[in-house]
Amino acid sequence: MHHYGNKIIDESRQGEALMLESEGHKKLYIESYGCQMNFSDSEIVASILAGEGYSTTKNPEDADLVLLNTCSIREKAEQTVRNRLSHLQYLKKTKPAVKIGVLGCMAERIKDKLLDEEKLVDLVVGPDAYRDLPELLKEVNDGRKAVNVILSKEETYGDINPVRLGGNGISAFISIMRGCDNMCTFCVVPFTRGRERSRNPQSIIEEAVQLQDAGYKEITLLGQNVDSYLWYGGGLKKDFAKASEIARASAVRFAELLRRVAEAVPGMRIRFSTSNPQDMTEDVLYTIAEYPNICKYIHLPVQSGSSRILKAMNRGHTREQYMELIEKIRSIIPDCGLSHDMIAGFPGETEEDHQDTLSLMEFVKYDFGYMFKYSERPGTYAARHLRDDVPDEVKTRRLNEIIDLQQKHSLYRNQQHLGKTVEVLVEGTSRKSEDHWFGRTTQNTVVVFPKEQAKPGDRVWVTVEYCTSATLLGKLASLSC
């Protein structure tokens, strides 16, 4: 999912469906929920199934196969999918032969129990098992139910050329690593996406060059924890120490990957997501500062401003260390856009901890943020050992205070652009007005301006005349950058 601007919403990564369309004789309808990684995975699934003669459709009623690529991050995300599954029952009534599959994190978390709980589901496939889809579909088409939720040590889908559908033809995702080893105590991701493994840098660069040749202007390098990228010939990051001396000596880390990509596609904007404060190194910051085509924007989730809560979350850094990192970013990359993820009401969070969160926000004054109420996830350390003891109304009140403060800071950050001329990559027509283009600055701030000669894909200069907390509004200053 693209985060178009600084929309401040609780469940920002859920419920947006991406419908894909392409050519072929059997029809696939695929809907994605959750993070950008899931949207990127759906493009891999579409590619694997294209090899089986499936083309995509935007209409579930035309489909022979309906897939939901699901998210487990919060209970609400799973509920959204459950509701969608109940709604989709009507498809089986009108077309009994249609097959329905659940992919992604919910498939991995709930496994074959999903088949008992959701009677209309024929197929359950976890994030590392998509290559098995052709075999699983054979079983399903023979009238059996099929499940594969095996997590892998190597799978990165590095050789699969994603089907680019549903996008704007200007920006695309490139997946660079999968899984997460950090084991934050609230997070289900290590259970649903397995351990960290990185993709061959050569295949990443080839994909970037292909996108450039196809006219794309922006890529986002994706991973659950991009700063932890480590290529030493394949395999889990945690097995790095066991690799040969030659493999270890020639290992490629994130800063080096960024540098290689920036040099391979100098005409493209490069973004990346998500960074983890405990894994972000200084050389990454110097690389961002050095290459004009790497966007000056870092999404740097913190989750809490209290060192005590950060410890209980197993975040691997204190409030002070995070503040030092922010200062380092500000000194190495002046004007860097910054955003955060924040959780309100983690077990044991006191009013004082909450005040620490607000004061950390005051210190950073983020450009935008994604803010959530704590949601207990079965199987996590927090669910097993910590009582979800902050009452819901307290969580809601704290979340609202966080959201209000973020809105104030977003407005403050946007106001700093007033009167200035900023570089914008035009992405398309504004969602609010047919007569306006919308695009983003290097800091990821949304800019809207009247349609003139510029067209989607152009990089233009826009003079900012007015702003809200979500958007800069301006007029075209010059056509080329």
Q: What residue type is 413 in one-letter code?
A: R
**Minimum CB distance to ligand SF4, residue 301 (Å):** 12
Q: Which does 176 bind (CB under 5 to 8 A by kind): ligand SF4, ligand 5AD, none?
A: none
71 is in an annotated binding site: yes
Which of 295, 326, 298 lies closest to 441, judged by CA? 295
User: Within 13 Å and on the Cβ side, how many CA atoms surround 182?
Assistant: 27
Residue 129 to residue 159: CA distance in whole angstroms: 15
Nearer to ligand SF4, 14 or 278 (CB): 14
Of 188 and 236, CB closest to ligand 5AD:
188
CB of 189 to ligand SF4, least distance (A): 5
Residue nearest to ligand SF4 (CB): 34
- Which positions lie near ligand 5AD, rule CB under 6 A? 73-74, 186-187, 301, 303, 341, 343, 372, 374-375, 377
How far, in Å, are 129, 292, 335, 464, 475 from residue 423 at the CA level?
A: 41, 12, 13, 10, 12
CA distances from 116 to 87, 112, 393, 412 (A): 17, 7, 34, 51
C-beta of 358: minimal distance to ligand 5AD in Å?
16
Closer residue to ligand 5AD, CB minimum distance, 1 or 257: 1
CA torsion 275-276-278-284 (nearest 10°) is: 0
* Residue 105 assigned to a binding site: yes
Give the residues lining the site for ligand SF4 (CB under 6 A).
13, 34-35, 37-38, 71-73, 104-105, 188-189, 192-193
Tokens standing for 394? 């307290």
Measured from the CB atom, is 78 or 367 closer to ligand SF4? Answer: 78
Residue 192 binds what, of ligand SF4, ligand 5AD, none (CB under 5 to 8 Å, by partner type)? ligand SF4
Residue 37 interacting entry, from ligand 5AD, ligand SF4, none, C-beta within 5 to 8 Å by type: ligand SF4
Residue 218, amino acid = E
Q: Residue 400: what residue type?
A: N
- Rounded to whole angstroms, the Cα distance separating 113 from 271 reads 38
Helix (H) or strand (E) holding 196: none
What phi, psi does 17 have (nearest 5°)?
-100, 140
Shortest distance, CB of residue 180 to ligand SF4, whole angstroms? Answer: 8
- Partner that binds at residue 71, options ligand SF4, ligand 5AD, none, CB closer than 5 to 8 Å by kind: ligand SF4
| For ligand SF4, the closer CB: 289 or 383 | 383
Query: Does 481 appear as a known binding residue?
Result: no
324: helix, coil or strand? helix
Name the residue nearer to ligand SF4 (CB basis): 369 or 457: 369
Angle formed by the axes of helices 36-50 and 133-141, nearest 10°: 70
Nearest to 218 by CA among 40, 458, 461: 458
Rounded to the nearest whole angstrom, what is the least distance from the CB of residue 471 to ligand SF4 in the complex?
26
Rounded CA-CA distance 49/63 in Å is 13
- DSSP secondary structure code for residue 385 in this structure: H
301 contact choice in ligand 5AD, ligand SF4, none (CB below 5 to 8 Å, kind-dependent): ligand 5AD
User: What single-letter amino acid sits at 457?
Assistant: G
Which entry of ligand SF4, ligand 5AD, none binds 474, CB below 5 to 8 A by partner kind? none
Please state, in angstroms and rounded to a whole number, the distance separating the CA atoms of residues 256 and 204: 12
Q: Is 467 annotated as a binding residue?
A: no
Among ligand 5AD, ligand SF4, none, partner that 313 touches (CB below 5 to 8 angstroms by kind) = none
Give the nearer residue to ligand 5AD in terms of CB position, either 229 or 346: 346
Binding site for [4Fe-4S] cluster: residue ranges? Answer: 35, 71, 105, 180, 184, 187
Binding site: residue ranges? Answer: 35, 71, 105, 180, 184, 187
